[in-house]
Structure formats: C-alpha cells, structure tokens
C-alpha cells in the first residue's frame, strides 16, 4: 500500500467535527481491498469481518470493493444489511451467538432469504439451531452450516490474539465436529453440512501455524467430503497483519501463495469446491486515524502529553500492549511542516521522545513514547492504524460519548459516517 493521508485533511476534519474523531481514508481502504482481492481473486468468497469496524458506511465501502460480510451477532448483521448487503452475501459465526441470533437465522430461512451460512461452535449449538430451524422454518427448511475447527496450532501472534491454540475456547476438535454434524440431523437434516470454518489468529507475524491449520482443515474436509456430497467449503478466516512501518510481516499474497501446494496434497475429488476468507483488520486498520487534541503538556523528567482520546476510543494498547504510531498535526498552534515519513507527513522540527497518555482514570491508558515536536494544550495529533478494533471496541467508560466517524474520499471531501454520541445516550436508562 503506497497511498498517504493528507494531514491537512485530518486537521480540517478535527476543526469541523471536533475531537476525538475517527477518520477513515477511503483511498487507503481501497488500496487494502485491492491487495486482498488480487491475492484471493474470484471465485474465492471474500467476507469482511465486521467486528473490525462496524460503522455501516465503512462496511458499505468495503462491500463496494467485492466483499460480503462476516458477522457475529444480530447487531453486526443489521450493520451489514444497512450497508446494503443481502443475506446471501452475509455469514454468521462467533462463539457468543444467542438464542435470538439463532432464531433470526431461522426466520431468514423461513422468509426465503437465508444467510450464506452459519458457522457452528459446538454440538449443543448445532442441536439448538436444528430445533429452531425445524420449528420456525418447518420440515422443509434447511440452513447451510460450517463447523468451526479448533486447529490446535501455535499462532505467531500476541497471546491475546492466538485463538487457534488447542486450549482456546474457539472451535471444535474432530470428535466434537462429528457430534455437531450428527446433532444437526446429518446430511438430510435441517442443517446442511457445507464444510469447515477456521480462524487461526489475528495479526499473524508468520505463516507457519496458518499453513499447518489449513493443511489440517483440508484433510478433515476431504474426509467428510467422501461421505457427504454437500461438504464442499473451506473458510480459512482472517488474520492478515498490519504492523508499524518497517516491521516485516507476511501480506495476503504470501498466505495465498501457500494454497496451491496445500491443495496439491489433497486428492482432486476431495478438494473443497468453495474457498473463503474473512479478513477484518487488514482492510480497515491502515485507513483509520484517531485524531485527538492535547489536554496537558508537561515536563516529567521528559516530555509528557495527555490527549482527549485514549483507551475508550482505542483499547488495543491497554488490552494487549499493541503499538500505534502517534504523529503531530500541529505544534504550538501551527500546522506541522510536511516531510514525507511513512504514510503521513509529519513534523520535522525539534522532535523529542514524548510519553503520550490517554484521558481515562486508569494508568494503563497510555500510548507509549513517541518522537514528537513541542506540543501545548489544543494541539492536534493523529494516532495511526486505528481503523480496526478501535471504534468497534470503544466504550463509554468515564461517561464519555462515542466519537464521530468521518470518511475522507479521494477528492479530499469529508462525510459523516456516524455522528458523535451524546451525554443523553450515555445516561439513557
Ligand atoms: C472467526 C474470525 N474471523 C475473522 C476475524 C478477523 O480477523 P482479522 O481482523 O485479524 O483479519 C476474526 C477476528 O477475531 C475472527 O475471530
């Protein structure tokens, strides 16, 4: 991805919509989507994992680049629908599906507009969904399902993101998977077995665990495909990483490049007829900036600033030590002079290591140390790579309304994607 975001546009956005503010650069989003699409072209099924950023305008922007949606709840499903996606381009997965979520999936079958598939997490969930589909959609109603496999690998990522380990709460082992197929009524039941769902982890720093997991999933798919003709799908999940500039990480093409050899290891008549991916972070992280204003600038044996954005808007640093670059948009009230430096031109003058803190009453609310020019109250900074798992994981802790979300188009125009929350919403009973 080579596009850069114009700092002037971020300053304009902050002046017009206030801070803290999420800004999504649609040109960067388009570049990321193109990179994934080139690596996984049709007939790959591409679903955007809405949990990364559930603002409907952003889901719609991703959909416009050839992606369906992968959702984990009726809330995310509603966001995908609002983004204009029909049910047959939406998949439902997730370990937290409620009875109401399952009922909604069954009602969509009854109404003749079923989801593309539902990915199941346990035999109990399969039994519950089968019963609900029977009662809501009648004896002829069928719903396509995948079975989430726990691949029991050692993903090369932060422990908090390594969901594919054997002890994790996600997915089933082979015995549970067989029981889930049975619990759904087998090949002729209300749940039509379509294949395997996999997600190894997020921010994958290498491909080895992913390769092992896909190899296992292909072997299991081949086994079931022998007995159940509809068992034809392998969804390899998401996980493509977005690291700070300069840190090498495998891109989507590197993962895609593994597939031919993996498929070669499977008999031709046992290979999945449909392959799918469901990335989230890679599509939206780089495009997103969290623009904040400085509340306090102090000397604490070194520079320290406190911003008006922190863990309530971007919890990743506090949650699992994620690093996000911070760049100055203004210094002592003046726009920072631009020098090309990565994806945002940043200030050149008098930079010094500065501890950047958030405004929340928790000492873990910190963005770490960054080289920044002199700052004072009211100066603007931009936090990089904040487009994924920022807005969607935001909270109203400390009584803080949710920030607005603005979209920046290629012509430099700004459009409101989600309006700022209100005190009324924070206090609503
Ligand atoms: C099942 C599943 N699929 C896809 C994703 C998206 O992952 P990423 O944003 O790393 O691409 C996740 C993230 O947690 C997930 O749990």
Please say whether the beta carbons of 150 and 124 come within 8 A: no
pLDDT (0 to 100) of residue 348: 53
Q: How much of the chain, in percent, has pLDDT values that exceed 90?
A: 86
pLDDT (0 to 100) of residue 349: 60
Of 29, 76, 237, 240, which is best to mutate to test ligand 1, by the most ligand atoms within 8 angstroms of its C-beta? 237
Structure confidence by residue, pLDDT tens digits, 115-162: 999 999 999 999 999 999 999 999 999 999 999 999 988 778 878 777
Return the active site residues: 361
Q: How much of the chain, in percent, has pLDDT values that exceed 70?
A: 96
Q: Per-residue pLDDT averaged across 210-230, rounded?
A: 96
Expressed in angstroms and rounded, the spacing between residue 142 Cα and the centre of ligand 1 is 27
Query: Is residue 2 pLDDT above 50, yes or no?
Result: no
- The class that CATH gives domain 288-427 is mainly beta
Q: Per-residue pLDDT averaged across 42-69, rounded?
A: 98
pLDDT band at 296 (very low <50, low <70, confident <90, very high): very high
Which of 348-357, 362-371, 375-384 comes out lowest in average pLDDT?
A: 348-357
Going by CA atoms, what residue is nearest to atom 5 of ligand 1?
A: 238
pTM above 0.85, yes or no: yes
DSSP 339: B
- The class that CATH gives domain 94-277 is alpha beta
For 338-375, give one letter per residue: b (16+ CB within 10 A) or e: eeeeebbbbbeeebeebbbbbbbeeeebbbeebebbbb
Structure confidence by residue, pLDDT tens digits, 193-203: 999 999 999 88
Query: Is residue 343 pLDDT above 70, yes or no?
Result: no
pLDDT band at 3 (very low <50, low <70, confident <90, very high): low
Query: Is residue 266 pLDDT above 60, yes or no?
Result: yes
pLDDT band at 84 (very low <50, low <70, confident <90, very high): very high
Query: Is residue 341 pLDDT above 50, yes or no?
Result: no
Q: Per-residue pLDDT averaged across 310-318, rounded?
A: 96
Query: Is residue 342 pLDDT above 60, yes or no?
Result: no
pLDDT band at 339 (very low <50, low <70, confident <90, very high): very low
pLDDT (0 to 100) of residue 320: 86
For the chain, the structural domain boundaries read 94-277, 288-427
pLDDT (0 to 100) of residue 161: 77
- The rounded mean pLDDT for the chain is 93
Residue 152, C-beta contacts closer than 8 angstroms, at least 6 positions apart: 164, 165, 166, 173, 216
pLDDT (0 to 100) of residue 337: 66
Query: Is residue 231 pLDDT above 90, yes or no?
Result: yes
DSSP 234: E
Spacing of C-alpha 298 from chain mean position: 36
Residue 38, C-beta contacts closer than 8 angstroms, at least 6 positions apart: 253
Going by CA atoms, what residue is nearest to atom 13 of ligand 1?
A: 202
Query: Is residue 340 pLDDT above 70, yes or no?
Result: no
Q: Which atom of ligand 1 is nearest to the CA of 163?
A: 16
SS3 of residue 383 by DSSP: strand
pLDDT (0 to 100) of residue 338: 54
Expressed in angstroms and rounded, the spacing between residue 50 Cα and the centre of ligand 1 is 9
Expressed in angstroms and rounded, the spacing between residue 199 Cα and the centre of ligand 1 is 7
Q: Which atom of ligand 1 is nearest to the CA of 197?
A: 1
């Amino acid at each position: 991805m080579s596009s850069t975001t114009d700092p002037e546009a971020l300053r304009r956005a902050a002046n017009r919509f206030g801070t803290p503010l999420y800004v999504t650069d649609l040109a960067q989003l388009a570049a990321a989507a193109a990179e994934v699409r080139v690596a996984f072209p049709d007939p790959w099924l591409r679903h955007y994992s809405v949990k990364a950023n559930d603002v409907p305008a952003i889901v719609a922007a991703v959909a416009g680049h050839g992606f369906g949606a992968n959702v984990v709840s009726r809330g995310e499903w509603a966001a995908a629908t609002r983004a204009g996606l029909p049910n047959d381009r939406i998949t439902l997965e997730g370990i937290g599906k409620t009875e109401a979520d399952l009922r909604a999936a069954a009602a969509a079958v009854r109404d003749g507009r079923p989801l593309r598939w539902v990915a199941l997490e346990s035999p109990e969930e399969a039994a519950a969904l089968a019963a609900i589909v029977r009662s809501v959609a009648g004896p002829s109603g069928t719903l396509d399902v995948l079975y989430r496999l726990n691949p029991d690998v050692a993903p090369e990522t932060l422990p908090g993101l390594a969901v594919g380990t054997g002890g994790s709460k996600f997915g089933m082992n082979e015995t549970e998977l067989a029981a889930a197929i049975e619990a759904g009524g087998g090949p002729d039941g209300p749940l039509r077995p379509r294949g395997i769902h996999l997600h190894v982890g997020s921010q994958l720093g290498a491909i080895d665990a992913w390769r092992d997991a896909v190899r296992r999933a292909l072997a299991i798919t081949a086994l079931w495909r022998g007995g159940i003709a509809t068992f034809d799908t392998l969804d390899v999940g998401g996980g493509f990483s977005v690291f700070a500039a300069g840190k090498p990480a495998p891109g989507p093409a590197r993962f895609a490049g593994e597939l031919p050899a993996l498929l070669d290891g499977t008999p031709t008549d046992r290979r999945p007829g449909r392959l799918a991916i469901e990335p989230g972070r890679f599509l939206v992280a780089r495009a997103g900036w969290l623009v904040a204003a400085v509340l306090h600038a102090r000397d604490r044996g070194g520079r320290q600033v406190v911003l008006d954005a922190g863990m309530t808007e971007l919890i990743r640093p506090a949650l699992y030590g994620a690093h996000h670059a911070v760049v100055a948009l203004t210094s002592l009230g003046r726009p920072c002079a631009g020098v090309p430096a990565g994806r945002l031109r940043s200030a050149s003058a008098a930079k010094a290591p500065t501890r950047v803190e958030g405004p929340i009453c928790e000492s873990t609310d910190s963005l770490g140390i960054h080289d920044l020019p002199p700052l004072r109250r009211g100066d603007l900074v931009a936090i990089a790579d904040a487009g994924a798992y920022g807005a969607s994981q935001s909270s109203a802790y400390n009584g803080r309304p949710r920030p607005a979300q603005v979209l920046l188009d290629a012509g430099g125009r700004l459009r409101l994607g989600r309006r700022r929350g209100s005190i009324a919403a924070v206090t609503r009973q």
